[in-house]
Each structure stands twice: as structure tokens, then as C-alpha cells.
Amino acid sequence: DVKVTQSSRYLVKRTGEKVFLECVQDMDHENMFWYRQDPGLGLRLIYFSYDVKMKEKGDIPEGYSVSREKKERFSLILESASTNQTSMYLCASSLRGRTNGYTFGSGTRLTVV
């Protein structure tokens, strides 16, 4: 069974902390994405990557950065966590080529206190 695995299901962090959210996929997908999901706002794209060491800003990149050092791993970094970054974070991956649907991870619910 193909998988996108997010390292933590729940996280609680303090304001100002540097936070790392990890995502690993085992499908040899080239494309990887980070979304945040908030009630009434749907899924909003933070950052995405089409290849190792490549990254592009999504719709709401402010306060976030990413790292893709290996094809299977895509990390989301909150440089200085703030309470408005409390959210559900979803990682997804897809195959390059003809547009295909995403495979999502189970999500990380981050609470910043």
C-alpha cells in the first residue's frame, strides 16, 4: 500500500519555537506539497516542490519555509511559531507527468500556545 507518512499526528509547541514537520513518501513521487486545513477555509497551499532541492511558494508561504534534500522527504519549517499557525497540516505527493490526483498524509495537528 502506497503511503505518505507524516511524522507526528499531534504537536504542541510554544510561541517563538522553531518547528519541523516531516513528510516521507514511498511512491517515488517527484511532486510534494504542504497544505494547511482550517475550518471554513479549506485546503490552502503553503509550499510545493517538483524535485529535490527545488521549492516554490504557494498561496500562504509567510512564516514558513521548506526543505527537500531527498526525493522522498519534504519538510515544513515554522521559523518562529505563532498562535495563528495553529492548524492541521497536510502533506501530499503526486507523480510528475500528466496531472494526477494527490496522495495525502494523515495530517499533523499543530497547536501553538
Partner 1 sequence: GENVEQHPSTLSVQEGDSAVIKCTYSDSASNYFPWYKQELGKRPQLIIDIRSNVGEKKDQRIAVTLNKTAKHFSLHITETQPEDSAVYFCAASPGGANSKLTFGKGITLSVRP
User: CA 85 to CA 11: how far, in whole Å?
Assistant: 12
On whether the CB atoms of residues 76 and 88 are closer than 8 A, the answer is no
**Segment contacting partner 1 by CB under 8 A, of 16-24, 36-44, 64-72, 76-84:** 36-44
Tell whether residue 10 is a contact of partner 1 (CB under 8 A): no
Minimum distance of partner 1 from residue 106's CB (angstroms):
5
User: CA 89 to CA 35: how far, in whole Å?
Assistant: 6
Tell whether residue 111 is a contact of partner 1 (CB under 8 A): no
Binding track over 37-66 against partner 1, x by CB under 8 A: ---xxxxxx--x-x-------xx-------
**Dihedral-angle region of residue 63 (phi above 0 means left; psi in -120 to 50 means alpha; beta otherwise):** left
Query: Binders of partner 1 among 69-108, rule CB under 8 A?
Result: 90, 96-99, 101-107
